[in-house]
Chain A
Amino acid sequence: MMNLADSAPATNNMLGSEADSQRTLYPYVTGTSVIGIKYKDGLLFAADMGGSYGSTLRYKSVERLKSVGKHSVIGASGEISDFQEIMRYLDELILFDNMWDDGNSLGPKEVHNYLTRVMYNRRNKFNPLWNSLVLGGIKNGKKYLGTVSMIGVHYEDDHVATGFGNHLARPILRDEWHENLTYEEGVKLLEKCMRVLLYRDRSAVNKLQIAKITEEGFTVSEPYSLKTSWDFNAFKNPTLDAEGSW
């Protein structure tokens, strides 16, 4: 009797046998969008604090923005455990950089390049780190902002976003971002984007952090919530013109 489980489907055999159970197949606990922008004195980043477990909003205090060395900030979306692994890699990278004790330190461009190589090489082994990362910082007055995806696609720009942020936030940023944004303007712009994401991204939670990096250093805000408005007439009496409708 033909065992249907053994019949050969159009499987990609490069993905290894069942014994090879150590590869990432799909993400479990995930973070949603991260947004980053350059502004007058440095860079600003925004990310909410949600860690979703499929459709469950399981964790609501996940810090997805972290500093890297003296000059950089990393923001991660995707699998949270893989982000924690990336932080272990980066902590080791910075440690070795500090151990040279030669006054030089890795800047954001270097860290971004390192991350790009790590992500690409994992993709080459069919065992990706399931993240989309935002990496930015400022060193010697030069601002840098870049992003890397789980398969190694990377680029730098004046504003970047991951996931849904690319669809909802980037258009706003393309319209309203300009060089020499003040800190207040930058935060307002990020909040505008985060609000749209909150309304339209199912995995977003209303608890976010804003991180800032300048020549002076890194700060991340205390978690806070955005004001939202659900006070639309159409929501008040949704079936007004459509009795029996859902």
Chain B
Amino acid sequence: MPKQQANWSPYDNNGGTCVAIAGADYCVIAADTRMSTGYSILTRDYSKIIQLADKSVMASSGFQADVRALQKVLAARHLLYQHQHNKQMSCPAMAQLLSNTLYFKRFFPYYSFNVLGGLDSEGKCKGKGCVFTYDAVGSYERVGYSAQGSGATLITPFLDNQLKSPSPLLLPAKDAVTPLSEIEAIDLVKTCFASATERDIYTGDKVEMLVLNASGIRQEFMELRKD
């Protein structure tokens, strides 16, 4: 008898979209709250965002079980860091940790598409918004804004147009952090999700937005189409 092939996959795509935008003194991180499988909606009220540290917030979409496991690993590592260094991890430090954690499972990846947002805390960049974007195996870069997940292909071109980001090829490197105000950026994020919801079946129900700035962290919700 020939060897039996597997008829189950260890992966599933539970859908969803994540966006983050970095400002001069704030950062917006947003994700929809829909969780799907195949053509079914499992639940309309599931958060894809986690606050890993004081100034680090991660939004992840993809395979929910892997996302949850990844969040737990990072949260545990942050706790250890706090015990060892008696301080919170900075956003760039968390960014490196996330990259290393993902690459650690290079040959059985976390099917998790992440954006990490927060506030920089070093030297003259203190308080500036920062966004890091990742693929599933940990390659990452710091950018001014990013979208990941099922609606990313719909949102990214729109953000490219609206935020008129400078070319990353320029020398000296020009900052991609947007000059938009916090209110304008949030409005832009809401528009992104409303548009993505129209055409992406996996995006919808509600968008959860977290805003980090000097005064702390704020959470906002907006209803989206439920179809």
Chain A residues with a Cβ under 8 A of chain B: 5, 9, 11-12, 14-15, 18, 25-26, 116, 120, 123-124, 126, 128, 130, 150-157, 166-167, 170
Interface size on B, residues (CB 8 A): 26
In the complex, which residues of chain A have a beta carbon less than 8 angstroms from the beta carbon of B42? 153, 155, 166
Beyond contacts A153-B14, A166-B42: 11 other A-B pairs, Cβ-Cβ < 8 A, are: A5-B2, A12-B5, A12-B6, A116-B65, A116-B68, A151-B9, A151-B11, A154-B68, A155-B35, A155-B43, A157-B43
Say if the beta carbon of B84 comes within 8 Å of chain A: no
Q: A11-B5, A128-B8 are in contact. Are A153 and B43 (CB under 8 A)?
A: no
Complex Cα distance, B14 from A18, in Å, reads 32
Report B's interface with A, CB cutoff 8 A.
2-12, 14, 35, 37, 40-43, 45-46, 63-65, 68-69, 108
A123 to B37, CA, bound (A): 17
Whether A153 contacts B108 by the Cβ 8 Å rule is no
User: B1: nearest residue on chain A (CB-CB)?
Assistant: A5
Among candidates A9, A126, A156, residue contacting B10 with C-beta atoms closer than 8 Å: A126
CA distance A14 to B8 in the complex (A): 13
Known contacts A5-B2, A157-B43, A157-B45; A123 and B65 CB within 8 A of each other: yes
Tally the A-B contacts, defined by beta carbons under 8 Å. 60
Find chain A residues with CB under 8 A from B11 CB.
151
Which residues from B are CB-within-8-Å of A120? 65, 69
How far is B216's CA from A132's CA once the two chains are assembled, in angstroms?
40
Instruction: Indicate whether A167 sits within 8 Å of B3 (C-beta atoms), given known contacts A123-B10, A153-B14.
Output: no
| 11 A-B pairs with C-beta separation under 8 A | A11-B3, A12-B6, A15-B6, A25-B6, A130-B8, A151-B8, A151-B12, A153-B63, A155-B43, A155-B64, A156-B43
**A130→B7 CA distance, assembly (Å):** 12
Q: Which residues of A contact B2 (CB under 8 A)?
A: 5
Q: Are B14 and A25 in contact (CB under 8 A)?
A: no
Interchain CB contact under 8 A, A153 and B12: yes
A99 → B minimal CB distance (Å) = 27
Q: Are A155 and B46 closer than 8 Å at their CB atoms? A: yes
Q: Which residues of A contact B108 (CB under 8 A)?
A: 14, 124
Shortest Cβ gap from B110 to chain A (Å): 11
In angstroms, Cα B40 to Cα A123, docked, is 22
Contact B8 A153 (CB under 8 A): no
